[in-house]
Every structure is written in structure tokens, then in C-alpha cells.
Chains A and B, each alone.
Chain A
Amino acid sequence: MKAASLFLFLCVAANLFAQAAPEVKLTVAAVGPRAVEPRTEQSLVRDYAAAWKSLADASESNTPALLNAYFAGAARTNFGRLVNDQQKIGTHIRYLNQVHNLKAVFYAPEGDVMQLQDSAEYQMQIVSGDKVIQDEHVVVQYIVLITPGADRWMVRQIQAVPAQ
């Protein structure tokens, strides 16, 4: 009985650890034409990590409303449709152990949009019912458009591209 409880505890603890906040690193050395201020850099890292956390939560629980805080425009529409579809067919996707290496490549002259390249790595589990039907380590590159909102950066476009 004790062994079973310990096993359950370890499973839950492992799961919680796995779904910790995504690790995000940002380099702005190559950005232009506008420079990225240090405080902007900090808020980008914070908000991009929060965006992926909210995507993981929305996808795990099939709750599209969780996307509202950090996604807007096409990104919100697309992920919302994905989560709705997952709910309909009884599946969900887990994004675990996320690491995002961001590179700012374009920052508009007036500061109203920024383009990022995200070299991302994470463990993706696709679950149908109770069964994990796919468990893989994903290494993928995203092109991201992110815009400033009232108090945070919002992801507007996020598109995976083949590795170059």
C-alpha cells in the first residue's frame, strides 16, 4: 500500500515538474531596425514563456479560453480551433520540458511588431482517451510575430518551418 502511494506521489511530482514553466532564452544582437531595450527583452521572455505555458495548459485540459491571455489574431484562432477539435475527438496534446531559444530578427521602426525565430525543443505526448499514442522529442523552428498589448506581448502568428 505504501509503495503504491509512493509511486503515485512520484508520478504526480514528475508530472508537475515536467509541466514547469517553459525555459526561454532570447538573443537580440541581430535585431533591427529598432533596438530592443533591456526591459523590453525581459518582458518578451516573461510573456513568451507565459504564452507557451498557457498553450500547454489549454491543450492539456482542452480549454480554449486559456489561450486568451497571450494569443491574439491568427494564432488565437488556430490554436483555439485545434483545442476544440481535440475535445471533439477525445484527444489532447501535452507539451513537456519546453526549451525555447529565441532570436529577435526584426523589430519594426515604431515598435509595433517584432519577429522572432524560436528554436524550440519539447517532449510532445499525444493522448487519445487514456492512451499515449505518440510520445516524441520535438525539435522545431517557429517564426513568430509578436505585438505589444496593453501590459504584455501577444503572440499573433506562430508558424513552424522545416529546419534550415
Chain B
Amino acid sequence: MRARLILAALLGFLLANRCFGQELTPPRQAIAGNPLSFSTTGSGSATFYLFGPGSAVKQDVHLGQSIEVRAEDVVTAGRYTAIVCSDTCHAEHFFVAAGAPASMSFLAHPSRAMVKQNDSISGVAFPFDKYENLILSPVNVNFEMTANKNSLFSRAIPTRQGVAWFRTNSGNTAGLVLLSASVNGISTQRALQLVASDPCNLRIKAQQTAKGVLVETEPIHDCAGNIVPDGTIVTFTANSGAGRSTVDAPIKQGVARANLTPAGSTTISAASGVVMGNELRMDVRR
């Protein structure tokens, strides 16, 4: 008798669940920006909710029919919670993944670098789909560095968790350098200026004038032969019996000049940054 009662209760429960209970089946795979369809079981009207990382939706639905979700309500990648409520509520979760690459965030550093410096240039790229979702599945990012259409560096680097990066040496020649990152035909470019490094073989010459001694450098280059940029300071120093005098002069068109006023036996030298030039000894008569 007792077993019959239990069996009847169980059957009743299963029948009620079949008639009135609700089941909600989310899609197995969902891509951001694509419409979704949920299948439901049960009967009668219910309220459907969908909560995602960038949207919340509520709509009246009929159990037993499929529920359609608009593409614009699932544009953000991440975890979604779908809930259907009639007498009780039933929830399901699913993930929406990013779509195909549509844009790229490319951080390149620095904007100005000296030539011949190890690991002085770096770039980081993040590929995004058209809804600004980070693409977490691996994609190859092609990094390239060019100067005057000559390739200085080129490498394909796969993203790890949505990030690809590189670090490289600067080139030998001063001038404009273009850095680009591209993935699936989407390319982002950054420009950086390579400038000459510290002067190399700083040489000076001097001539006595009516006002003192005019000292000037020969055209100043770095060790790779690039003209050192205008504005770089050269310090001229004169040591004589009258004492020591120092003049800072900026380079103009590759040459720095200064007028010194020593007297007697004088030693003149020049320096720029950490580089010392040659020394001149002269007897200055005034």
C-alpha cells in the first residue's frame, strides 16, 4: 500500500513537472553580436530574463516555444545568466566569445629613440572584435618595423590570452621609423623618430680673432655616421693662466661654435654628454 502511494506521488510529480515545469536550454556556442535562440519545455506564459556583462533583457515568453534574443543584446563577450520564471525560476549559464578581429590596440614605445640601442623599442598589441571584445583565442600578430620602406624587423607573434608583444633594437640610421601591427588584414601603425646617438670622435679647431679665440667643432656625427641633432649641447672649456672659462653652445647644422677669451698659454677642450673631444694648446696673445 505504502509503495503504491510513493509510486503514485512520483508519477504525479513527473506528470506535473512535464506539464508545468520549465526547462531552458541555452545555445552551446555563442559568438558576440549573433542572435541566439533558447529552447524551452513546459507550457504557459513565463518571463524570460537575460543578464550579461553589457546588457539586461526581460521579455514575456511562452514555454514550449523557442526564445529569440536579438544580436544587439549579446554583443559583449563573457558570462551570461538566462532565467525563465513562471511559478518558479530556472536559470542557466553560458559564455559568449569574441568574434573575428576587427580592430587592434597597439602600444609602441618610445616615440623617440637613439640609434643602436639594444631592446629600446617595444610594442604591445591587443586584437579586438567589432564590439571591443578582447579576442582570447590565439591569433598571429605580424609586427614590422620599417625605415624608408626597408624592413628593419619583422616577426609573427601569436597572442597569449589576447596579448602579443615584441622588443627589439633600434636601427642604425636616424630618421622616421614606422612600426606596424597587423592581424587578418587589420593593420595599425605608429611612427617613431630615431635620432643620432652620442657624438663620436668629437674634434675641434680654433683660430685666434680680434675678440679672442673662435672654437668650432667639425660636423658632429654619432658612431653610426648620423648627424647629431641641432640643439645638442657641446661644452667648450679653456684653461689658461687667467683661469678656467666654460661655454655651452648648441649644435647648429651639425656644428657647435663658441668664442672664448683666454690669455696666455691655453688648453681648449670640448665635451658633449659623456664624450670628450680632442684638446688644443695655443698661446693666445691679446
Contact = CB atoms under 8 A, between A and B. Distances in A.
Interface of A: 33, 73-74, 77-79, 81-82, 85-86, 88-91, 93, 105-106, 108-110, 112-113, 115, 117, 124, 126, 128, 133-134, 136, 140, 143, 145, 157-162
State the main secondary structure of chain B at its contact with A: strand
Contact of A134 (B77, B81, B136): B81
Contacts of A93: 51
15 contacts: A33-B165, A73-B132, A78-B53, A81-B55, A85-B56, A89-B58, A109-B167, A128-B85, A134-B81, A134-B91, A143-B136, A143-B161, A145-B134, A159-B133, A161-B136
A54 to B, nearest CB: 15
A95 to B, nearest CB: 12
Interface string B43-54: 000010101111
Contacts of B56: 82, 85-86, 88-89, 91
A74 B132 contact: yes
Contacts of B200: none
B53 A159 contact: yes
Given A73-B132, A82-B51, 10 more contacts: A81-B54, A91-B58, A93-B51, A105-B161, A106-B160, A106-B161, A140-B79, A143-B162, A157-B134, A159-B98
B130 to A, nearest CB: 12
A111 to B, nearest CB: 10
Interface string B107-140: 1011000000000001010100000111010000
A160 B79 contact: yes
B107 A113 contact: yes
A89 B57 contact: yes
A110 B109 contact: yes
Given A110-B107, A161-B136, A126 B165 contact: no
B88 to A, nearest CB: 9
A45 B52 CA distance: 25
Interface string B20-58: 000000000000000000000000000101011111111
B282 interface: no
B76 interface: yes
Contacts of A162: 95
Contact of B134 (A85, A134, A159): A159
A126 B49 contact: yes
Q: Which 4 A-B residue pairs are closest in the complex by CB-CB distance?
A: A78-B54, A85-B56, A160-B79, A89-B58
